[in-house]
Every structure is written in structure tokens, then in C-alpha cells.
């Protein structure tokens, strides 16, 4: 955050963009709740001191910093919005859903699921950076680009964890594909919905399914133009360890799955 000069924000370029406001605010809510995710991961992987140290001293720290950087951006651009009030509403409804019961049944499978999550975040922020650049707002573009880079690093660390645990579990490729597809479907999950609802409530607006569906349509249009599909597919293919011929066959399927879940 020390490298970001918020005084250079071109507020006039983005303050009227309600879609961007909701996207950035939603991301800030979710990122800044990473301490809860870390606690659950630490419980699940308490057999691995090296991983626990990385989760506490690197992963959690960087994820929280992402949330703080985005929170500050929201406060600079959309200063009339009560971020704390909105976040409190989100947290009260979301935290009860963050349980170990949501995890995969084995350690290798959960590492694979975390790789899918990091694929989603790194590519989302890459798309957000492209969008911000097109609007002429370089500060947001820089924030999103830096977050994307760190999420790729997190992906690589979870990949190491997957390989470590998979030495014992030896997951067949069809099981790996199943975990990836299951986790992809969860991209369209409750956290985004609850964040959207909290934002509307804090603004004094009524939430309903139709409004959320309209917002999802905007997200789809955003993804169609800015989403780095090649990057996402490459990251999703890596743990499958497929031959080039099979990769060529499965790539269109993965691309279709990404579009199906809104990416």
C-alpha cells in the first residue's frame, strides 16, 4: 500500500461508474475477511508447520493488504458510502457460512480447490486492471495488477501443497477434474450475493433477486471483454498433468465452463 499514491486517483473518471463501485467494494469486503479463511485453513492443515507459517505470515498478511488497499480506494472515490457500515452487514451474514464443512474431504483436494480460487482471483484482478486502464484510472489499474501478481504467487504455493499431499493421495485425473469443476461452479456463490446485498442495504436500497441478476449480467459483459481466458485455462490445466493432445481436447471444455460460471 505504501507504493500506491492515492492522490493521483482520477476520481472524475470512475465515480459515476456504479458497476465499478460495486465490483471494487465487493472485492474489498471479501479480501478483508481473509483472517477467517486463514483460521479454517490452519485447522485443516495443522499437520503441516511450514504451511501454517506461510499462511499466517505471508498469505493472510497479503490478502488483508489487498482488502485494505481496495477499501482505501473506495473511500477516496466513493467517499459518501459508509464502507464500515456496509462491511458490518456483509460480515454478519457471511461469517456464519465460513465453516470447515465447506472444505473438500481430503487435503490434496482442498489444495486443488484453493488453486482454483487463486486462479479466479488473479484473473479477475487482471481483468479489473484492464478495465481501469481503459477508463484512464491508472491508480486502480496499478492496485489490481499488483494484487493479481500476488494471487498468482499464492496459486504457486498452493500448487506445491497439492503436490505434497497428492504424493499420498494419488488423485486420478478424473477426480482432479471433478474438484476443479465443482469449485468453478462455486465462483457464482454466496459471498458475491451477500456483498451486493450489503451494499444496497447500506445505500438504503431494497435488495431483490432481479437486481442481483442484472448485476450478474453486467459482470458477464465485463468478463467477455476483459477476462484473460488463456491465463485462466493455463492455470487450471497445470495440476491435471495432461499430454498436449488431451490439453487441446479439454481446453474448449474449460473455456465453456468458465463462461458458464460467468467468467
Q: Domains of the chain (ranges plus CATH)?
A: 10-260 (1.10.620.20)
pTM of the model: 0.93
In angstroms, how far is the first alpha carbon of the chain from the final one? 28
Highest mean pLDDT among 15-24, 90-99, 248-257: 15-24
Burial 126-153 (b: 16+ CB within 10 A, else e): bbbbbbbbeeebbbbbbbbbbbbebbbe
Listed residue (56, 12, 10) closest to 35, CA to CA: 56
Per-residue confidence (pLDDT) for residue 33, from 0 to 100: 94
Instruction: Render pLDDT for 71-113 as a digit per residue (tens, 0 to 9).
Output: 999 999 999 999 999 999 999 999 998 898 889 999 999 999 9
Mean pLDDT, the chain, whole residue set: 92
Following DSSP, what letter does each residue of 197-220 receive, concatenated? HHHHHHTTPPP-HHHHHHHHHHHH
Q: Region 214-218: what's the mean pLDDT?
A: 94
Per-residue confidence (pLDDT) for residue 206, from 0 to 100: 96
Answer whether residue 260 shows pLDDT above 60: no
Lowest mean pLDDT among 74-78, 185-189, 201-205, 216-220: 185-189
Percent of the chain scoring above 90 in pLDDT:
80
Following DSSP, what letter does each residue of 88-132 receive, concatenated? HHHHHHHGGG--GGGS-SSHHHHHHHHHHHHHHHHHHHHHHHHHH
Confidence bin at 25 (pLDDT 50/70/90): very high
Answer whether residue 250 shows pLDDT above 60: yes
Answer whether residue 41 shows pLDDT above 80: yes
Distance of alpha carbon 165 from alpha carbon 254, whole angstroms: 25
Answer whether residue 1 shows pLDDT above 80: no
Distances (CA, A) of 203 to 22, 87, 95, 231: 11, 12, 21, 36
Per-residue confidence (pLDDT) for residue 251, from 0 to 100: 75
For 157, other C-beta atoms within 10 Å of its C-beta total 18
Comparison of pLDDT for 252 and 261, the residue scoring more: 252
Distance of alpha carbon 72 from alpha carbon 3, whole angstroms: 13
Instruction: Render pLDDT for 146-188 as a digit per residue (tens, 0 to 9).
Output: 999 999 999 999 999 999 999 999 999 999 989 998 888 776 5
Amino acid at each position: 500500500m505504501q507504493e500506491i499514491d492515492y492522490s493521483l486517483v482520477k476520481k472524475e473518471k470512475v465515480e459515476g461508474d456504479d458497476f465499478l463501485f460495486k465490483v471494487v467494494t465487493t472485492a474489498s469486503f471479501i479480501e478483508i475477511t481473509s483472517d477467517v479463511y486463514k483460521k479454517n485453513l490452519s485447522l485443516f492443515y495443522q499437520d503441516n508447520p511450514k504451511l501454517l507459517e506461510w499462511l499466517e505470515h505471508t498469505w493472510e498478511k497479503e490478502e488483508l493488504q489487498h482488502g485494505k488497499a481496495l477499501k482505501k480506494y473506495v473511500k477516496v472515490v466513493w467517499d459518501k458510502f459508509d464502507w464500515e457500515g456496509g462491511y458490518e452487514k456483509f460480515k454478519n451474514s457471511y461469517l456464519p457460512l465460513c465453516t470447515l464443512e465447506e472444505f473438500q474431504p481430503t487435503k490434496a483436494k482442498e489444495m486443488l480447490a484453493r488453486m482454483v480460487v487463486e486462479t479466479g482471483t488473479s484473473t479477475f484482478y487482471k481483468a479489473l486492471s484492464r478495465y481501469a486502464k481503459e477508463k484512464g484510472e491508472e491508480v486502480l489499474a496499478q492496485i489490481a495488477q499488483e494484487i493479481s501478481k500476488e494471487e498468482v504467487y499464492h496459486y504457486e504455493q498452493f500448487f506445491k501443497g497439492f503436490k505434497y499431499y497428492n504424493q499420498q493421495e494419488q488423485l486420478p485425473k478424473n477426480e482432479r477434474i471433478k474438484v476443479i469443476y465443482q469449485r468453478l461452479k462455486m465462483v457464482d456463490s454466496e459471498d458475491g450475493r451477500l456483498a451486493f446485498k450489503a451494499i444496497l442495504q447500506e445505500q438504503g436500497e431494497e435488495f431483490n433477486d432481479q437486481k442481483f441478476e442484472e448485476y450478474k449480467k453486467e459482470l458477464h459483459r465485463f468478463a467477455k471483454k476483459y477476462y484473460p481466458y488463456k491465463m485462466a485455462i493455463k492455470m487450471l490445466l497445470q495440476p491435471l498433468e495432461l499430454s498436449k493432445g488431451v490439453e487441446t481436447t479439454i481446453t474448449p471444455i474449460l473455456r465453456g465452463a468458465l463462461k458458464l460460471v460467468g467468467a
